[in-house]
Chains A and B, each alone.
Chain A
Amino acid sequence: MRLAVVGSGPAAFYTVIRALQKVPSLNVTIFEKGFAPFGLVRTGVAPDHPEVKSCQERFTQLIDDNPKQINYLGNVEIGKDISLKQLSDQYNAVLIATGAQGNRQLGIENNTAGKPLRGVVPARNFVNWYNGVHDGALFDPSLLNARKATIIGNGNVALDIVRVLLSPLQRWKDIEFCDLGSSVYDGISKSKIEHIDVVGRRGLFQSAFTNKEFRELLNLVPMLPVDPKSELDVEPITRIDKKKIKLINGISTGLFDNELLKSNKKSFQFKFHRVPVKFHGDERVTAVEYTYNGKRVVEETDLVFTSIGYMGTSAEGYDSVGAQFDVKTGTLLRNPETGIVEGTANIFASGWAATGSSGAIAATMRDAFVEGDLIADYLQKHNDTTAIEDNEKQQESPINDNINTQDAVSTLEQGNKRIITWNDWKKLDHEEIRRGEIVGKSREKFETKEQALEYLK
């Protein structure tokens, strides 16, 4: 029984963990397009949240402990290097765990001339940058010469950005196991940003940030009170909203009061009920125009991050296998009973690729566990018909019984593809940790695929 897995984020790993529990003889091949595994745990989760990343140890151990059964092939993009159709034909089942590879679009005019403005940046580009993903150089750190920034969208990613940009610099030195890159620290320490507006379309209770993130931020960066105060005259019903209102009022009651906070001269402020309609500026953004309480308002800013969501994109090859993809939500549609992607025979999906780009690792894990169970059910059901064929194939290749991987690999080799194997990744991993030790951090990341490949030469 063979399972091909596309992607190596939490969804991939948790699905595999569960499927292996149920089908212990399962052979798994994981394909990852990046040079490093772990998806957004490495490229999304903020560098000051090392504990969130400790799931990486668990994932690492899974492969380390099962080298015969799990084959990891990095720097291989499904849809480009190998087609989805090929996987579907060659493996008993395929799992798509590719996360959300695009951005939700704001869909507003950029400026009067319709030209893209400098200084309007999708949150994803900035998050990638501060997480050391510098492939394609999608964020130019010289933009941090701005005095005031605006984040459109008020989920946890927005609060991450505020924390990264406005926390006292000393904090980066204090956090154990921090993996903020040296070049990134450099960029942040040169930042001139003094204030950030965090803008939401609706009110406090409709904002997507969570209390945990909010509480953390309130302990680090001074918050200017919501203005006018009447915007907070809303009756909280749920326990979560009651706490949210308590936290947001807490600043006036001195609930948050520590030395770090007192020494921090920077600030952020929530702006509610603003629907962005237009960016102003000639070459670089100078202001955002909103509708606010039925009126048009223009608020000045030097830098805008659009943080309205990552979004799944229809990938190369979905059509060839008949996979149904919902363009509106950016997700693959699954049969709720079987977990199979609608329109396909043996393709499954889990995590953000199927649920959309919301939900923390815990939610992704839950989704993945359910999908893992369903894959196991499917494989067990189809076991009888394919077992014989499997046996024959395994005899041909006594060392690595993962024969289908070899098919895939040979396709790649013909194309001169440099596969980053698990062993290669371990080398990169060790080197990152070694470089990190020198500067007192958990790791110093390779910032581009070229750098990583160069090191492996």
Chain B
Amino acid sequence: MSILTKTGLRVAYNLRPRMNTYISAARVHSNLHDLTMFRHASLSGAKMFHSYSMLQHGHVHKPKPGEELTVTYISPDGSQQKVEAAAGDNLMDIAQANGVEMEGACGGSCACSTCHVIVDPAYFDLLDEPTDEENDMLDLAFGLTETSRLACQMKMSKKIDGIRVALPAMTRNLQARDFK
């Protein structure tokens, strides 16, 4: 398959109406530690973190001059990256296009939960309500908190300009129990 067809495929996946699908499964509840990272992050001197050169770039638009919105991604180590984004693009594609370490294994189809992020509580209530499907998927995200969302299901808009989201740390403690 040519790169073009592949890109086409991926775009098509993203354009398709959202389907109901599979999930991962670790049941964790509100984790205060994760929320405090916003404070730590704002203190730590914003070190840029750029090592994901192999990552595919998501499909994002260039913001029109004067209409640039910003998103800040906070890594588990506290370093943060502030990027410009256009309205309408989702926070997973924006992350990938800017080399932020986020997998997005299902290509933004709400089917994998690898784009789970913790939203700064200051912005959480400004977001549109998650769909049932996103909630089902979130139930199973690792390190779920009160302000967890899936990055691929959040579209950038003026309303949430400046939004800050933290990527959960990868740790190994709970094991899932699905796929029996």
A124 to B117, CA, bound (A): 34
Contact in complex: B54, A65 (CB < 8 Å) = yes
Q: Residues of B contacting A365 with CB < 8 Å?
A: 103, 105, 114
Contact in complex: A356, B175 (CB < 8 Å) = yes
Contact in complex: A360, B177 (CB < 8 Å) = no
Count contacts on A: residues with CB < 8 A to the other chain: 60
Contact in complex: A49, B136 (CB < 8 Å) = no
The B1-53 residues at the A interface (CB cut-off 8 A) are 1, 6, 9-10, 12-13, 16, 19-27, 51-52
Contact in complex: A54, B13 (CB < 8 Å) = yes
Closest CB-CB distance, A60 to chain B, in whole Å?
8
Binds A, one of B83-91, B139-147, B155-163: B139-147
**A210-B25, A216-B21 known; A17-B54 Cβ under 8 A:** yes
Bits for B126-168, please: 1 = Cβ < 8 Å to A, else 0. 0000001101110111100000000000000000000000000
A350 to B119, CA, bound (A): 30
Contact in complex: A215, B20 (CB < 8 Å) = yes
A208 to B172, CA, bound (A): 21
**A208-B177, A215-B20, A356-B175 known; A363-B54 Cβ under 8 A:** no
Q: How large is the interface on B (under 10, 10 to 19, 20 to 34, 35 or more residues)?
A: 35 or more
Contact in complex: B142, A360 (CB < 8 Å) = no
**A54-B107, A176-B16, A369-B170 known; A210-B136 Cβ under 8 A:** yes
Closest-by-CB residue of A relative to B107 is A54
B180 within 8 A of A: yes
Overall SS of chain A's interface:
helix
Bits for A224-248, please: 1 = Cβ < 8 Å to B, else 0. 0000000000000011100100000
A219 within 8 A of B: yes
B94 within 8 A of A: no
The residue that B133 contacts in the complex, of A212, A310, A355, A356, with Cβ under 8 A, is A212
Contact in complex: A216, B20 (CB < 8 Å) = yes
Contact in complex: B171, A239 (CB < 8 Å) = no
A278 within 8 A of B: no
B113 within 8 A of A: yes
- Chain B residues within 8 Å of A, Cβ to Cβ: 1, 6, 9-10, 12-13, 16, 19-27, 51-52, 54, 56, 103, 105-107, 109, 111-114, 132-133, 135-137, 139-142, 170-172, 175-180
